[in-house]
Amino acid sequence: MRVSEIDLVSPSSVDKCLYMLRDHDKTFRLLAGGTDAIVQMKDGKRIPDIWINIKNLTELRYIREEKEGIHIGPLTTHTDIVKSELLQKKADVLVGASMEVGAIQLQNMGTVGGNIGTASPAGDTIPALFVLDAQIELSSFNEKRTIPINEFFTGPGKTVQKQNEMITNIIIQPQSENEIGIFEKLGPRKAQSISIVNVAITLRMGSNPRECLEGKIAFGSVGPTIIRSKKCEKMLALGPLDDTAIQDIAGAAWKEVMPISDVRASAKYRRSMASALLERGLYRLMNRWDAR
Amino acid sequence: MSKEVKDVQKLENQQQLKWVGKSVKRIDGPAKVTGEQKYKTDFNYPNMVWGKVLRARYPFAKIKGIDTSKAEAHPDAVCVLTHKDIPGFNGFGIVTPDQPVLCEDVVRCTGDAVALVAAESLEAAEEAINLIEVDYEPLEPVTDAEAAMIQGAPQLHPDGNIHSHVTIVNGDIDKGFEEADFIFENTFYSPRQMHAFIETEGGWGKLEEDGSLTIQCPAQYGHRDKLQIARALALNPERIHVYSSPNGGGFGGKDEITVQIYLALLAQNTDGRPVKIHLSREESVIAGIKRHPFKVTVKTGAKKDGTLIANKVRAVADTGAYASLGGAVTALAIEHASGPYKIPNVDMEGFCVYTNNGIAGAFRGFGVNQVCVGIETHIDMLAEKTGLDPIEIRKKNAYLQGDRSSLGHVVSSSVGTIETLMEAEECDLWVNRELYKSQVSEPWKKRGVAAATSFHGVGMGIGTPDYGAATIELLKDGRFKVGVAIEEIGTGNGTVYAQVAAECLRCEVDNIAVIQGDTKETLDSGTISASRSTYTGGRAIATAAPNMITLLTEAAAEILNVSKSEIELADNKLIVAGDESQSVNYKQIYEKLYEQHRSMRVEGHFYLPREKKELKNSGGAPHHLYGYMTHVVMVEVDTLTGETDVLHVVAIPDVGKVLNPQGLEGQSEGGAVMGIGYTLYEDILIEEGYHKTKNFTDYIIPTIRETPIIETIPVESNEKSGPFGAKGIAEVVMIPIIPAIMAAIHDATGARINHLPATPERIYKAIQETKKQTLVSR
Ligand SMILES: Cc1cc2nc3c(=O)[nH]c(=O)nc-3n(C[C@H](O)[C@H](O)[C@H](O)COP(=O)(O)OP(=O)(O)OC[C@H]3O[C@@H](n4cnc5c(N)ncnc54)[C@H](O)[C@@H]3O)c2cc1C
């Protein structure tokens, strides 16, 4: 089919959208900001029979705190996230990640739902969502189910989402007073670049100097999906996070990742960079913590 | 001295320049910043058809057959063309026409064109293209330039894989090295940089009712394109009109034929319907011309006191499947490979070699970018070894006007190297470099400051015709139309043309209408390349202006009934000398000339000055004129990751004379950023003849966040032959910044990167290696 012959429909509500998705005879693709979907279409990939334009479904664009966590609508743009005072206070690691997506133009267009939907191993918000224990709500016309983020992705570009489903909510656990987080990214340049390696870190700090009670570390772009660095996480609580401890923890990271070589970087460099970014991130976090 | 030169100098001496030297706003500025400016590829016409090119499937293969029947049967196809449909010579190329318009028996790179289609829509054209069946017999591609030179390598062209070999020898190289206290030898690899213009190659072709052909297409030399089209179509060139301005960026990438011949062929087969081709970015990456990747081995000998005594250079350039300007690029590289210095013993040679890696050709800097890193790095190493100041070493070795250069010829044109170095020495960044270096933003980051110097020939050199021509026509409303064929490719040359014309004719800049890139209305004035357009076009206008003044004077004398010698040029009018009350304006003169049916158009022609004797086997060296330049840069390297930021650039060009300060800054800043891209980010990766880098996803050019503070401090050496003392700078502004960044990385980290681009991965690796050597931990 010619691209010019693909239909585009714009449902006026989530229900109408889910109703359309029931149809098994046609292939559909949701279009949010379109910053991934259109690029892929140009490459001749994943071209549907019908585009479903959901950009106007404002009911899916929100950030609000509820009992079980902070709810983020999938149509929330990266700019929405960056500007949200709630997230700045209680999910700084996600704000940091959205700030690193492309550049301003991309952040205005691109959505968090689209970033998850693309399921790229290099997607920048995904490691942040991992360390915030995100739950992804998938809805179909008849059903709703909630999947923990660590079970959502099954490989590069692959998720457990079914053809008749869409993401309707993302629930994250807010950071408490003594929790701090950071997102570190290494790309070939500062803006508009695909991560060579990225890492999201959150730490829960104790009352003694640089005492870390527990922490979470998630690497992107160093495996088929996000990698939680369990060994390094355990080391975080072994003693105060002074410079030597930071170097030791970072030094262990390269063993936990399993990157590949491609045009952007060699596997070897990616391994070293997993350590480097963790080191840089922990340094910066501790500086922030000391200065608070 | 010619009369015009004297006139111009008189104006200069009067020191009351009204337009020249002023930041006159770009005449095309408002249209461009508002987006109103339409480029050739922005247009669409009713009744149009779309053209599409079938590119080769293999980097190297025999064609055993081409079957177009299915494509022809496509309901929306208008025509399908192969080599059989070329009426004239099936080849193009500025110097050696070795590139087939449409391949017949063999394809030599994946950018090769095999067939053309015109169809009712772009999608239909793409479908029809995919229906063409080509029967190939793939051959083993030649993917490395050095390997291509070895006997027994598969031959790409009948004369072998070495397209050209140039040499420059002066003095006694062996004696030089014997006398040297220090010898440095290193090999440098340079990237396959892409021009990355916003407007990809494309345009329009139309067969007019009178049988003539119109081509509208961003291009860098419409008059020459006309000849190349005529040769392929076996048409009288006078029946072809090329409209080639403005360009959405050129940088050399549109110097060669891009799509003009395809457009012409298709236009002859679409019943007079206009046909459009516009390459996607992906097709532009594969088929468009790139900068030659070079492997350069440089050996430099120096004395303890900092005197450079010997320089040996061997450069191998990968021109890809076709020559285009590869021979000239290699020759220019060798001419510049010993820097703007007086090294008494040099032995330099360059090879331009065919491979199956795309096609390389002209690109801003034209070979000098690739070679300048050798001599400049070695000067830096010499400074490190001897403890001498790196700027002092350069000053000590730089030739002055009237000195003998490393090539052995006496440089009689203006030379501002020392002045640029003195400015560098005195600039704040250099003076306070230790302070700035200590101000790192985080403890694991390191800063370095370094300077480098280079130069770049202006114009074509010996052996290639190099002339400029301008027309000036008096218009009905008393304004002037100034015609210079040289295209606007983003540099703002049209504004400078208006300034020079307004200055010479003593009118307002607004009263000058500039016409460029129009083969019907303007005289052949050469290319927009070789840093020549301000210099050449400006000089041609300054040469035409006195002819216009003569015409105006004659008419004024008649109107005012006085003798010609009593008439004097004043602002916007002519007066009787000493009596302002007796005057005529340009509109009145138009009316007078119109009544008398006299021509109101004058011409000016200018031949670029050149050296008398060509250096044997040099391929065109030396040039008569060079622009000189020093860059000082500061970088900050993240030693954890290798990420490198250029934070501050001081750009010090010797411009002869600044014609438009704002325009100069534009060139200087653009050049600096392009140089940063070359050094740190940009490369088109090709493996086994196939492009690994496909579009801007992985072709990394600097964004505003990679753009540092750039200061421009011009030095004016007053070039006698140029318009108001000016010379060209458009290429040199991206050159010394390359070795300067490399040296600054070394200053910061101790690591030397000889393989560009210096990506974070390469820098990280080099830092790790220096640690191993010195056993110093972080
Ligand atoms: C120049 C450029 C730079 C970029 N830089 C970065 C970067 O630095 N970091 C980064 O992570 N990404 C980057 N991207 C990728 C992209 O911008 C982001 O992934 C963005 O968040 C995608 O959001 P979108 O709304 O545009 O997605 P779309 O393109 O609209 O959709 C992407 C995919 O998700 C699906 N989808 C969208 N919404 C939903 C939903 N509610 N439920 C289920 N599926 C859904 C779509 O069907 C599609 O398959 C870049 C892209 C470009 C073009």
User: A35 C-alpha to center of ligand 1: Å?
Assistant: 5
Please tell me the distance from the alpha carbon of residue B211 to that of residue B268, in angstroms, as a whole number: 9
Would you call A272 and B764 a contact, using CB atoms and an 8 Å cutoff? yes
Residue-level pLDDT at A134:
98
Q: Distance (Å) from the C-alpha of residue B640 to the closest C-alpha of chain A?
A: 5
The token pair that represents B347 in the structure block: 């032995």
Task: Please give the distance of CA B454 from its chain centroid, rounded to a whole number.
Answer: 16
Residue-level pLDDT at B17:
94
Residue B70: strand, helix, or coil: helix
Please tell me the distance from the alpha carbon of residue B572 to that of residue B575, in angstroms, as a whole number: 10
Establish whether residue A57 lines the binding site of ligand 1, counting it when its CB lies within 6 angstroms of any ligand atom. no
Domains B3-37+467-607 and B294-461+613-774 share a fold: yes
User: B395 C-alpha to center of ligand 1: Å?
Assistant: 54
Residue-level pLDDT at B16:
85
pLDDT-derived band at B11 (thresholds 50, 70, 90) equals: low
Q: Which one of B761, B763, B767, B768 makes the best mutation probe of the A interface by having the most chain A beta carbons within 10 Å?
A: B761
Would you call B764 and A264 a contact, using CB atoms and an 8 Å cutoff? no
Mean pLDDT confidence for A102-116: 97
pLDDT-derived band at B1 (thresholds 50, 70, 90) equals: very low
- Spell out which residues of chain A touch residue B643, defining contact as CB-CB under 8 Å: 186
Residue-level pLDDT at B15:
59
Tell me the per-residue pLDDT of B664-675, one tens digit each, with 9 for 90 and over: 999 999 999 999
Answer for the pair A232, A278: CB distance below 8 angstroms, yes or no: yes
Tell me the per-residue pLDDT of B733-755, one tens digit each, with 9 for 90 and over: 999 999 999 999 999 999 999 99
Query: CATH for B3-37+467-607?
Result: 3.30.365.10
Mean pLDDT confidence for B194-220: 98
Atom of ligand 1 nearest to the CA of A167: 42
Task: Transcribe B25-56 into DSSP letters.
Answer: PPTTHHHHHHT-PPPGGG---TT-EEEEEEEP
Residue-level pLDDT at B772:
76
Residue-level pLDDT at B10:
58
Architecture of domain B294-461+613-774: 2-Layer Sandwich (3.30)
Please tell me the distance from the alpha carbon of residue B721 to that of residue B1, in angstroms, as a whole number: 10
Establish whether residue A121 lines the binding site of ligand 1, counting it when its CB lies within 6 angstroms of any ligand atom. no
Query: Over chain A, what is the mean pLDDT?
Result: 96
Residue B335: strand, helix, or coil: helix
pLDDT-derived band at B778 (thresholds 50, 70, 90) equals: very low
How many CB atoms lie under 10 A from the CB of residue A263? 13
Establish whether residue A124 lines the binding site of ligand 1, counting it when its CB lies within 6 angstroms of any ligand atom. yes
Answer for the pair B447, B644: CB distance below 8 angstroms, yes or no: no
> What one-character DSSP code corresponds to residue B677?
I
- A2 close to B (CB below 8 A): yes
User: The whole model's pTM is what?
Assistant: 0.97
Q: Is the pLDDT of residue B777 over 50?
A: no
pLDDT-derived band at A24 (thresholds 50, 70, 90) equals: confident
User: B103 C-alpha to center of ligand 1: Å?
Assistant: 41
Tell the residue number behind the tokens 């999201």, with chain if given. A200
User: Of all residues in chain B, what percent carry a pLDDT higher than 70?
Assistant: 97
Tell the residue number behind the tokens 């709703």, with chain if given. A144
Instruction: Classify strands A135-139 and A197-205 as parallel, antiparallel or unpaired.
Output: unpaired
Mean pLDDT confidence for A154-170: 97
Q: Note the residue count of chain A.
A: 292
Please tell me the distance from the alpha carbon of residue B777 to that of residue B766, in angstroms, as a whole number: 14
Strands (E), B564-708: 567-570, 573-576, 579-585, 601-607, 626-638, 644-654, 686-687, 690-691
The dihedral sign for the CA sequence B134, B140, B144, B149: negative
Q: 3-state DSSP: chain B helix, strand, coil percent, rounded to 5? A: 35, 25, 40
Nearest Cβ partner for B705 among A186, A190, A269? A190
The token pair that represents B777 in the structure block: 């931990």
Torsion-angle region of A126 (φ positive above 0: left; ψ -120 to 50: alpha; else: beta): alpha
**Helix ranges, A92-185 (H):** 92-99, 104-109, 112-118, 125-131
Residue B196: strand, helix, or coil: coil
Residue B740: strand, helix, or coil: helix
Q: Is the pLDDT of residue B13 over 90?
A: no
- B769 close to A (CB below 8 A): no
Nearest Cβ partner for B764 among A188, A194, A269? A269
Please tell me the distance from the alpha carbon of residue A63 to that of residue A52, in angstroms, as a whole number: 23
Please tell me the distance from the alpha carbon of residue B463 to that of residue B775, in angstroms, as a whole number: 55
Residue B167: strand, helix, or coil: strand
Instruction: Classify strands B644-654 and B709-712 as parallel, antiparallel or unpaired.
Output: parallel
Task: Please give the distance of CA B300 from its chain centroid, rounded to a whole number.
Answer: 29
Closest CA to B520 of B261, B239, B330, B709: B239
Tell me the per-residue pLDDT of B251-306, one tens digit each, with 9 for 90 and over: 999 999 999 999 999 999 999 999 999 999 999 999 999 999 999 999 999 999 99
Tell me the per-residue pLDDT of B347-363, one tens digit each, with 9 for 90 and over: 999 999 999 999 999 99
Name the CATH topology of B40-139+201-278. Answer: Aldehyde Oxidoreductase; domain 3 (3.90.1170)
Residue nearest to atom 9 of ligand 1 (CA): A101
- Spell out which residues of chain A touch residue B760, defining contact as CB-CB under 8 Å: 186, 188, 196
Atom of ligand 1 nearest to the CA of A29: 47
Amino acid at A106: L
Would you list the domain boundaries of chain B? 3-37+467-607, 40-139+201-278, 294-461+613-774
Burial of B738 (0-12, 13-18, 19+ CB in 10 A): buried
- Residue B74 has phi, psi (to 5 degrees) of -60, 130
Answer for the pair B679, B758: CB distance below 8 angstroms, yes or no: yes
Tell the residue number behind the tokens 């990939």, with chain if given. A45
How many CB atoms lie under 10 A from the CB of residue B712? 21
Closest CA to A254 of A231, A269, A271: A271
Closest CA to B259 of B526, B555, B41: B41
Answer for the pair B629, B655: CB distance below 8 angstroms, yes or no: no
Q: Is the pLDDT of residue B244 over 70?
A: yes
Burial of B375 (0-12, 13-18, 19+ CB in 10 A): buried
Answer for the pair B395, B340: CB distance below 8 angstroms, yes or no: no
Strands (E), A111-211: 135-139, 144-148, 153-155, 158-159, 166-172, 179-186, 197-205
How many CB atoms lie under 10 A from the CB of residue B247? 26
Query: Over chain B, what is the mean pLDDT?
Result: 96
